[in-house]
Amino acid sequence: MARFIFITGGVVSSLGKGLLAASLGALLQARGYKARIRKFDPYLNVDPGTMSPYQHGEVYVTDDGAETDLDLGHYERFTGVSARQSDNVTSGRVYSDIIAKERRGDYLGATVQVIPHVTNAIKEFALNDIDDLDFVICEIGGTIGDIESLPFVEALRQLSNDLGRENVVFVHTTLVPYIAAAGELKTKPTQHSVREMTGYGIQPDVLLCRSEHPIPPEERAKIALFCNVPESAVIQALDARSIYDVPLAYHNEGLDREVLRAFGIEDAPEPDLKRWTDIMDRVDNPEGEVTIGVVGKYVSLPDAYKSLREALVHGGFANKVKVNIKWLDAEMFESEDEELAAKLEPMHGILVPGGFGERGSEGKIAAIKFARTRKIPFFGICLGMQMACIEAARNQAGIEDATTTEFGEEGEPIIGLITEWMSEEGLQKRSADGDLGGTMRLGAYDAKLSPNSAVASQYGTTEISERHRHRYEVNKNYIPKLEQGGLIFSGMSPDGLLPEIVERPDHPWFIGVQFHPELKSRPFDPHPLFKGFIAAALEQSRLV
């Protein structure tokens, strides 16, 4: 029977519950256990797919086509276990399912209530699809005391009774702030947070205390006394120099030991942490560095490109170099050529990521032209690939008003809304006036690569599977003109209808992809395209 670890947060948000869950999963794996990590999100959106990146950060996409919280990216990167649709649930999804059942009459005339119907649905989600696991780690979004998270907290309380207290451990994250005027760390926020939690019927077993300063033994003893936990279960969590140092730091503080002890497991094998020490050696001892310019529209919030940032770092690990990322707002390149040259000339590589909407598109196209004409390594992802096709159409293929229907009806649309495509479930159909949520081409799809192409050499194969999240595609009818202009369509869907990859044989490294390769990159297994892109940027740095 799988044991459950529930991770909650108190005092303030952004204490790092996602990294805690990912790190704990990695530490349990290092001891030889099988673990899966899940996320409960209290907001009423069915999923984050329609939320602005400024509201929520990136939307992470799983192989099976779920749009999920960005924390699932941490889970995958740290554990290597591919997330599934069953690993993320929101209040919106829970209520949507319950209301649909009520409309069908599934409740046989009963009054539908938060208890038991909502809490039962949450418990069913937690218990679903957990065969052959030793531990299930569930992170609860939000903060203890939030109104919207109360049904989840109550469901956890019930689960601890249903499963037996010996099969459930609660890890609570809190803040231990330093008050400069007093020159002291203050434990009262932690005490009040735990008191709030015990008022809901849950006693934490382990406390993870975030602090900017080391927590002295006497303060740990005070927290343990007032929060009713052993002193050894008060784990300090200081800021780390890299997120990949967090598993090592938490292990050194005794996190995994205390969690296992709370389960009554005293004879667990010692963890093998070599892969993490090797990664940190690459963080601390790079043999060079490169600078990558990311030209996007959400650059004021780096979390909007969380997986992209990490994939670039992974590419640096593969090449033993430090990757410096310059976040460049595409809009600033839409009018000033001098600004474009001044900002992009120092870059060893230029990346144009995915996005939605017209804002910043002309700046992205200008940056792509700069990369093409100056022979700077270029990587276009999703919308970035589409903008590369528009740039080629306008400047090389003679289609001066080339555009996409995503931006309106004017001009010649070489890119348009995809209305149908084949998936494992069969033919998928969409329309321009349909719902926005969950209607894109989502999840893993296969592609076939041209045998002698640059991407085939990067992958080392001609058959790949990558995750998609988009609703517009390059019009297949324009491929001949674009190829006459210098682009090569080196990757297509297996049926030959949907363009997946473009490249330039006359360029040191110029690749655009319709999918999101950053979602499958891992620190221990960098994605081949990011590995190749950083290698090309390193070569560019030697030429400058």
Residues labelled as active-site residues: 382, 516, 518
Question: Are the CB atoms for 508 and 539 separated by under 8 Å?
Answer: yes
Q: How far apart are the two ends of the chain, measured CA to CA in Å?
A: 59
DSSP-derived letter for residue 111 is P
Q: How many CB atoms lie within 10 A of CB 184?
A: 12
Reported in sequence order, the residue ranges of 30-72 that DSSP labels E, i.e. its strands, are 35-41, 60-61, 67-68
CA neighbours within 13 Å on the CB side: how many for 486? 19
* 8-state DSSP, 165: G
Query: Partners of 426 in the beta sheet?
Result: 423
CA distance 106 to 112: 11
- Burial class, 454, CB count within 10 angstroms (exposed 0-12 / middle 13-18 / buried 19+): buried
Q: Which two tokens stand for residue 456?
A: 């085939």
Per-residue HEC secondary structure of 353-410 comes to: CCCCCCCCHHHHHHHHHHHHHCCCCEEEECHHHHHHHHHHHHHCCCCCCEEEHHHCCC
The torsion angles phi and psi of 98, rounded to 5 degrees, stand at: -65, -45
Distance (Å, rounded) from C-alpha 420 to C-alpha 429?
Answer: 4
Q: Which residues of 254-271 are buried (b: 16+ CB within 10 A; e: fewer)?
A: bbbbbbbbbbeeeebeeb
The tokens for 372 are: 């093409």
User: Cα(410)–Cα(239) distance, rounded to whole angstroms?
Assistant: 51
What gap in Å lies between CA 451 and CA 464, rounded to an integer?
12
The span from the CA of 263 to the CA of 534, in Å, is 44
Give the other-Cβ count within 10 Å of 188's Cβ: 12
CA–CA distance, 458 with 62 (Å, rounded to integer): 23
Torsion of the alpha carbons at 299, 388, 51 and 18, rounded to the nearest 10: -60
Give the Cα separation of 318 and 313 in Å (integer).
9
